Amino acid sequence: MSTSPAAGAARWAASDPNRVRLKDLRTEEMVLNMGPQHPSTHGVLRLEVVTDGEIVIDVIPHLGYLHRCFEKHAESLTYPQVIPYVDRMDYLAAMNNELAWAVAVERLLGIEEDIHPRVQYIRVLMAELNRIASHLVSIGTFGQDAGAVTPFLWCFRDREHILNLFEWASGARLLYNYIWIGGLMHDLPVGFEERCREFVQYFRPRVRELNDLLTYNTIFVERTANVGVLPLEVAINYGCSGPMLRGSGLRWDLRRDDPYLVYPDLEFDVCVGRGEVGTPGDCWNRYKVRAEEIEQSLRIIEQCLDQLQRGVARRTADFDPQKLCPPRVVPPRGAEVYARFENPRGELGFYILSDGTEKPFRVKARSPSFSNLSVLPEISRGAMLADLIVILGSVDIVLGEVDR
């Protein structure tokens, strides 16, 4: 039905061979394997590239080098025990993943509405800080893919401040296990809000500097504008989400359009690719959406800090972040939920099926990078080989999440 049987046995039988057979190629075509170890794949991904000189004829992604079957693990763990595994899916935005898992299970239990406002604001604060950190990595490595080394160093310098804040709050720099089902591991440490405000003050000018350095840089624009154009209907049909979809011009953000937590109370703009440079849907516009989202995240963080310091979510003596954390998480038998959340890379969805025990019956993670990557062959056919690197960088995949 799918693969045709090969005759005989090979001396070294590769477990994941090329799909293109040499005998099907024309004389001038060549198969080039990019990866699994290649700096531009941001992890272990193999792209089987059929080239004609420097023109890309076809790309066939081979995934799974980082596969650890998260879904199988989740079936043998209790709901709270899954959180550290969720962290390791999109390891650049672990807070967002935890938030997604926690809210999905709360929705399954029917306690989503009862969460204390302070818990909700802290969650949103953490998620937005992590969104900035994740976009900084994305922008930095994208610049490096296009040949600019300085932005990478600047981005990592600023990301370090966010990681220090996370370390202060949760004890870990990358994989936090901070957001729990029904609450949080701890309240914020005393002085966190003030330090966070200092960070926002420090960081605002840095965003402008970064824009001066990279965004309108002629060399960068030449490399990225009008490259890898993703038309909107193709993006929707392939299930692209997040900056990929917004870069193509659809004003679509789950924080606004399918809101969760306190996002309806917060003010922010949904950034879209407007084709200011290049065409909507090209690499530059995808990049620009991420750069603008950093500023919107800063706006959200300031509003959260207002609420956390003086508003409905201010610190009180009797606040217990674990008050609603159930001692045993047992959703009713037959309950199922598909909950989706706006991660830095797009729509992260969890489909959870419960059989009335402490462990989920089936968990399916719909990770944004997985669907975003599937459109890569479509937008890189006919591009130059060097542009393929830029296109892959603009898709911004995290292989931990593609392979799960």
Partner 1 sequence: MATVYEIRDWIVERFGPEGVRELQLERVIPPALVIDPARLREICRFLRDDPRLYFDQLMCLSGVDYGPERDQVAVVYHLHSTVHDHQIALKVIVSRSENLEPVVNKLEYTRIGPDGEPIPNAEPPEAPEADFGEERVEYVTEYLPAVDTVSDIWRTAEWHEREAYDLVGIAFRGHPDLRRILTCDDWPGHPLRKDYVWPEYYHGIRVAY
Question: According to CB under 8 A, which residues from 129 to 148 bind partner 1?
Answer: none
272 conformational bin, left if phi > 0, alpha if psi -120 to 50, beta if neither: beta
Minimum CB distance to partner 1 smaller for 39 or for 356: 356
User: What is the spatial distance between Cα 231 and Cα 228, in angstroms, rounded to a whole number?
Assistant: 10
Which one of 114, 160, 212, 336 is in contact with partner 1 (CB under 8 A)?
A: 336
* 13 lines the binding site for partner 1 (CB under 8 A): yes
Stretch that binds partner 1, among 28-36, 63-71, 185-193, 271-279 (CB under 8 A): 63-71
Stretch that binds partner 1, among 94-102, 205-213, 259-267, 346-354 (CB under 8 A): 346-354
* 10 lines the binding site for partner 1 (CB under 8 A): yes
Minimum CB distance to partner 1 smaller for 63 or for 155: 63
User: What is the spatial distance between Cα 262 and Cα 153, in angstroms, rounded to a whole number?
Assistant: 34
> ω into residue 36 within 30 of 0, thus cis?
yes
Minimum CB distance to partner 1 smaller for 284 or for 350: 350
Taking the complex as a whole, the smallest distance from the CB of residue 250 to partner 1 amounts, in Å, to 7
Residue 24 CA: distances (Å) to CA of 31, 82, 106, 272: 11, 45, 52, 41
- Contacts with partner 1 by CB under 8 A: the residue count is 53
Kindly write out the interface string for residues 240-279 of this chain, putting x where it contacts partner 1 by CB under 8 A and - elsewhere.
----------x-x----x----------------------
* 11 lines the binding site for partner 1 (CB under 8 A): yes
The helix (H) or strand (E) run that includes residue 353 is strand 346-354
The helix (H) or strand (E) run that includes residue 336 is strand 336-343
Q: Are 221 and 278 in contact (CB under 8 A)?
A: yes
* 340 lines the binding site for partner 1 (CB under 8 A): yes
Minimum CB distance to partner 1 smaller for 9 or for 190: 9
Which one of 19, 173, 208, 274 is in contact with partner 1 (CB under 8 A)?
A: 19
* 386 lines the binding site for partner 1 (CB under 8 A): no
Which one of 186, 195, 197, 366 is in contact with partner 1 (CB under 8 A)?
A: 366
Contacts 24+ apart (CB under 8 A), 264-272: 266/124, 266/300, 266/303, 266/304, 267/299, 267/303, 268/296, 268/297, 268/299, 268/300, 269/296, 270/246, 271/246, 271/296, 272/246, 272/247
Which one of 156, 325, 374, 386 is in contact with partner 1 (CB under 8 A)?
A: 374
Least Cα distance to 63 among 369, 365, 384 occurs for: 369
User: What is the spatial distance between Cα 48 and Cα 295, in angstroms, rounded to a whole number?
Assistant: 37
Taking the complex as a whole, the smallest distance from the CB of residue 33 to partner 1 amounts, in Å, to 15
User: What is the spatial distance between Cα 264 and Cα 262, in angstroms, rounded to a whole number?
Assistant: 6
DSSP per-residue letters across 50-86: EEETTEEEEEEEE--TT---HHHHHHTS-TGGGHHHH
* 359 lines the binding site for partner 1 (CB under 8 A): no
Minimum CB distance to partner 1 smaller for 137 or for 230: 230
Taking the complex as a whole, the smallest distance from the CB of residue 2 to partner 1 amounts, in Å, to 4
Calculate the CA dihedral of residues 400, 402, 403, 404 and round it to 10 degrees: 60
Q: Which two tokens stand for residue 202?
A: 């420090």
Minimum CB distance to partner 1 smaller for 241 or for 307: 241
Which one of 39, 147, 189, 334 is in contact with partner 1 (CB under 8 A)?
A: 334
State the residues that interact with partner 1 by CB under 8 A. Answer: 1-6, 9-13, 15-17, 19, 63-64, 67, 69, 71-72, 75, 107-108, 234, 236-239, 250, 252, 257, 332, 334-340, 347, 349, 351, 353, 362, 364, 366, 370-371, 374-375, 403-404
